Amino acid sequence: MGSGYAWILPTAIGAGWLLSWWRTRRIRWGLLSAATVVSVLCAAFGIRTYGRPVSPEDLHCSSAFACVGRHPVYWIMTGMTGFGCCLVLLLVTAVAEIVIRLDDRASPESPR
């Protein structure tokens, strides 16, 4: 990846997902749904504003603010990376929830 900006959204998604394990399942699934929508919107915005071919010189920005919003390829990279992160976390969450439910069923009830 050429820009650190493409990792901001996936990092925020991962941090929110980790923090959501201390709350209810509804928050975890809602967070993943919202993150997926934001990722798709970022990619769609980049694709929609992609009006000219990007040369290799365009991808090497001279300052930290030179790349922000100037080249739609970074929006596309951010959206696709965020979407991939959401897919991986979706699978991990589904498997973890299944394991937790099976473990709850297998554990004996507390004696009275």
At 12-25, the pLDDT tens digits run: 999 999 998 888 88
Distance CA 101, CA 98 (A): 5
Output the average pLDDT for the chain.
79
Mean pLDDT of 30-40: 93
> Is pLDDT above 50 for 90?
yes
pLDDT for 107: 76
pTM score, whole prediction: 0.71
